[in-house]
Amino acid sequence: MSVELLEWAASWPLVLPYFDGSVPAGFPSPAEDYLETPLDLTDLLIENRAATFLMRVDGDSMKDAGILNGDLLVVDRAATPVNGSVVVVAVNGQYTVKRLRREPDCAWLEPANPLYQAVRVSVGEELHVFGVVRHSIHSMR
């Protein structure tokens, strides 16, 4: 799985109408009056504006984590990765997205698809974490 860094010119804020309430995913509920309020997607999706990038996913190694081929990732370069974070890393000059698992003597880059193997990164090997994935945005088409 690889990811591609996208060029974009940020225009803040990105405000869209938001209908306050929830939409049942089970049985329909009686119609209710919902209040339309503005919602700034930058406030919802982006914590560190200057350090946030969008990247497009190419591949299916993270499908069981809800990251699908073609998704847009919201990646925060200012966030500190912790054990279990989904991260974008540079491996041999190529970006990839995996779950980071740290151990005392190594780190593991774990896919979320049983068809792929985890990659072990030993102490002394270079591991460049580009950023922490905050959100995955995918189309329903």
Q: Using CA of residue 28, residue 29, residue 34, residue 39, what is the dihedral sign?
A: negative
Q: 68: domain range?
A: 2-6+41-137
d(CA 73, CA 6): 10
pLDDT of residue 27: 66
Domain total in the chain: 1
- For residue 27, tell me if it sits in a domain: no
pLDDT of residue 51: 87
pLDDT at residue 14 is higher than 70: no
CATH classification at residue 78:
2.10.109.10
pTM of the full structure: 0.78
pLDDT of residue 64: 97
- For residue 52, tell me if it sits in a domain: yes
Give catalytic residues, as residue numbers.
61, 98
The structure tokens listed for 59 are 């591949």
d(CA 29, CA 6): 40
pLDDT at residue 139 is higher than 60: yes
Q: In Å, what is the CA distance from 25 to each residue of 22, 28, 37, 65, 138?
A: 9, 8, 22, 20, 18
CB–CB of 45/74 below 8 Å? yes
Query: How confident is residue 97, by pLDDT bands cut at 50, 70 and 90?
Result: very high
Query: How confident is residue 111, by pLDDT bands cut at 50, 70 and 90?
Result: very high
- For residue 20, tell me if it sits in a domain: no
